[in-house]
Structures are given as C-alpha cells and as structure tokens.
Amino acid sequence: MTINVLIAESRPAVRAGFRRTLEREPDIGVVAEVPDGRAALESAVRLRPDVCLLDAHMAGPDGIEVTRRLAARRGVAGAPRTVVVAPKGRDEAVLEALRAGASGFLLRDTSPALLVEAVRAADAGEMLLSPAVTARVLEGLPGRRSASGRGHGLSERELDVVRRVALGATSNEIAADLHLAPSTVKSHLARVQKKLGARNRVEVAAWAWRRGLMTAG
C-alpha cells in the first residue's frame, strides 16, 4: 500500500528535493506540494494524505499551527499525521511541534534516508526525531511524575529498547539492532510505557535522558 504524502514547504528547491527523495521509494507517493499553510490545510482536507511534511516557518499558518489543527481532526476519517521540518538552531520548534501533535521532527538538511524513515514512522503511528536534536531537546522536556519515580521495574531488554528509543530509532531499527521481531519491540515498548506511566515514545525518551541512562551507555 502506498503512503500518500503532502509536502508543504516555503522554498521551491527544498520542496522539489523532498519530492525527488520520496518518489524514489516504491511505497511512497507525493499527492501534492504547496508553498504555505493555508494551501496545506486545504489540500490536507481535500486530498486526505496519510502524512503531511510541514515547514515549521512557512507563511500563515506555519507548520506548527497546521499540525495543531490537523491533530484536532485526528478522529476524523482521513486526518493525516504530520512531520515538521525546521532549520538548525530552532530547538524550541521541536517542543512546540510535539506539543501540537506532530509525529516527527526533522532538520531541513536531514539525510534522504532519515526523511523517508520519518514518513514511514509517522504512517505507522510512531514518532521519529532527528538524532541531531534529540539529546538537547529531550533533556529539557517536562516529565510526568509517574515517569520519573524510583523503582521503574524495567527488565534489561526493556532498557535496551528504551535507550534506542531515546536516540530516535524506530521499531524496525531497534528490531534489527537487537535481533528481535518488530512486533516484539512494540510489545516491549507498550510494557515500558505502562510501567513508567508514559503516554508516548517521547516521554519514554525524556525519562531515559533524565535518569542518565544514555550517559551510562
């Protein structure tokens, strides 16, 4: 099944580059590319893409506001998931995008492979952050009290999964690294979230950074 993507990006050259990268993949198709948030919202409702790739700073509304409005429609049939793209040096945009309901965050100069992986992850209901910003941003995320208490009760295998989630890896990447089935990784992650009281992968990652699991290897 093809993953249909809408690209909303203010710079024509960047839009064209994203399209070329995505259309090389047999399982991804670009249904439209637009220059601003107004066109993005209209096209998202009309074309019902699976994933919207959104420029964080395009003209009104910007990608974060578009994300917020589309997230509010998440229960509506055909409402897409979103991946927000921003230039380097705008760490605050990551937090804004995640709070708005984004399924991913990438730097504008991200590698083609990571761009493709972010789209696939969003379509699968997962979350992927650019590794270049993961550590800096997640250390500053406020956590829920239940996710930072003592006695987390995680097994060594669950901790292996948590560390890789904190580095921005998808379930398929974690599965390959740990020689597990992707379904097994997802089962581990579901148990981790229940034990920590974490609502999603981002809170799991933030917990790992706060507890020093990453500096401990």
Examine the domain organization and report whether 134 and 149 are in the same domain. no
In the predicted model, what is the mean pLDDT of residues 93-119?
Answer: 87
Does 203 fall in a domain? yes
Examine the fold and report which residue of 81, 106, 138 is the final residue of a domain before the chain moves on.
Answer: 138
Is residue 20 exposed (0-12), middle (13-18) or buried (19+ Cβ within 10 Å)?
exposed
Can you list the positions of beta strands (E) in the chain?
A: 3-8, 28-34, 51-55, 81-86, 104-107, 128-129
Q: With a cut of 60, say whether residue 17 has pLDDT above it.
A: yes
Whether the CB-CB separation of 195 and 153 falls below 8 Å is answered with: yes
CA distance 3 to 107: 21
pLDDT for residue 149 is more than 90 = no
Confidence band (pLDDT; 50, 70, 90) for 135? low
Distance spanning both ends of the chain, measured CA to CA: 38
Range of the domain at 170: 145-210
Look at residue 217 and tell me if it is in a domain: no
The CATH number for 28's domain is: 3.40.50.2300
Residue 217 has pLDDT above 50, yes or no: no
Same domain, 20 and 120: yes
Domain end position, chosen among 83, 114, 138: 138
The total number of structural domains that make up the chain? 2
- The answer to whether residues 128 and 151 belong to one domain is no
Q: Quick one: 174 and 90 in the same domain?
A: no
The CA distance from 144 to 206, in Å, is 10
Tokens of residue 185, six digits: 């990784």
Q: What percent of the chain has pLDDT over 70?
A: 86
Decide if 153 is inside a domain. yes
pLDDT higher than threshold 60 for residue 216? no
Tens of pLDDT, residues 184-207: 999 999 999 899 988 777 778 778
Give per-residue pLDDT as tens, 151-197: 578 999 999 999 988 877 878 889 999 999 999 999 999 999 899 98
156 and 78 within one domain: no
Q: What is the CATH number of the domain that holds 153?
A: 1.10.10.10
- pTM (predicted TM-score): 0.72
Residue 22 lies in a domain: yes
Do 108 and 34 sit in the same domain of this protein? yes
Q: pLDDT tens for residues 49-98?
A: 999 999 999 998 999 999 999 998 876 666 899 999 998 766 678 888 88
CA distance 45 to 22: 21
119, part of any domain:
yes
Mean pLDDT of the chain: 85
Q: Last residue of some domain: 106, 138, 170?
A: 138
Residue 202 within any structural domain of the chain:
yes
Distance CA 210, CA 179 (A): 27
216 within a domain of the structure (yes/no):
no
